[in-house]
A = this chain, B = another copy of it.
Amino acid sequence: MLKIQALEKLIQELSKLPSIGPKTAQRLAYHILKSPVSYSESLTHALTELKQKVQFCTECFNYTDKEVCFYCTDIYRATDIICIVEEPVDITPIESSQAFKGRYHVLHGAISPLDGVRPQDLKIDELLKRIERLKDTANPIKEIIFAVDSDLEGDTTVLYMSRQLQPYGIKLSRIAQGIPIGSDIDYIDDKTISKALIYRVEV
């Protein structure tokens, strides 16, 4: 359509990114074309560096540019409480809330038979090994909080993992499901209202 192969190729690659449609991809490509060559170079450099330097933390499987990530080495964080998340990106909102000061463990997905994601595809075994490794030290894991998505896959993952974790005698919990702060009751869907009623708290 644009008759310029190099331009069409970039538009095609950019269109593969989430939330970037063909129209946005075209606008981005034209913007890059109009920008000084230094911008294109620093973007290329950043992309290359990302894939070369970023790896999984050997402890919690978050992304890191070191052997062990920031959260696993921060001495000001509790070592006996682990928050389980599906993806590394889920750590950002939890950190923003400043309501959790423990360690993390990233599963890299949630159990989903429909999508072919089985328990062995997730970092569940790695969590069990981590618990085992710390069991007889001065800092054994005492509590695990599931901060997984509030959907069928999240529910399945919590159910499966809580059974796996039962023998260790660790306190297990899941972040509360209910109506979001600042919301109007009349805009909330049935299922959320239902959960909020079931898990009502005394005042």
Residues of A at the B interface (CB closer than 8 Å) are 1-7, 9-10, 12-14, 16-20, 24, 26-33, 37, 39-44, 46-54, 63-65, 69-71, 87-89, 92, 95
B5 touches A46 (CB 8 A): no
Cα A26 to Cα B168 with chains together (Å): 37
User: A88 is contacted by which of B10, B14, B20, B30 (Cβ under 8 Å)?
Assistant: B30
The one of B13, B18, B39, B63 in contact with A43, judged by C-beta atoms closer than 8 angstroms, is B13
Contacts of A92 in B (CB 8 A): 1-2, 26
CB pair B19 A24 closer than 8 Å: yes
Residues in B with CB closer than 8 Å to A13 are: 39, 42-43, 46
Q: Which residues of B contact A12 (CB under 8 A)?
A: 46
Q: List 6 A-B contacts (CB under 8 A).
A: A2-B92, A6-B52, A17-B28, A33-B51, A40-B51, A47-B47
Contact A31 B18 (CB under 8 A): yes
Contact B26 A89 (CB under 8 A): yes
Partner of A50, one of B6, B19, B26: B6
Number of copies of this chain that the complex holds: 2
CB distance from A124 to the nearest CB of B (A): 19
Q: Other than the known A9-B49, A13-B43, A33-B63, what 16 A-B pairs have Cβ atoms closer than 8 Å?
A: A3-B71, A4-B64, A4-B70, A6-B46, A7-B54, A9-B46, A10-B47, A10-B49, A13-B42, A14-B43, A19-B24, A27-B89, A32-B47, A32-B51, A33-B50, A33-B88
Q: In the complex, what residues of B have CB within 8 A of residue A64's CB? A: 3-4
A4 vs B89: C-alpha distance in the bound complex, in angstroms? 12
Distance in angstroms between the alpha carbons of A63 and B31 in the assembled complex: 12
Asked if A46 and B10 sit within 8 Å, CB to CB, the answer is yes
Q: For A27, what are the chain B residues with a Cβ–Cβ distance below 8 Å?
A: 18-19, 89
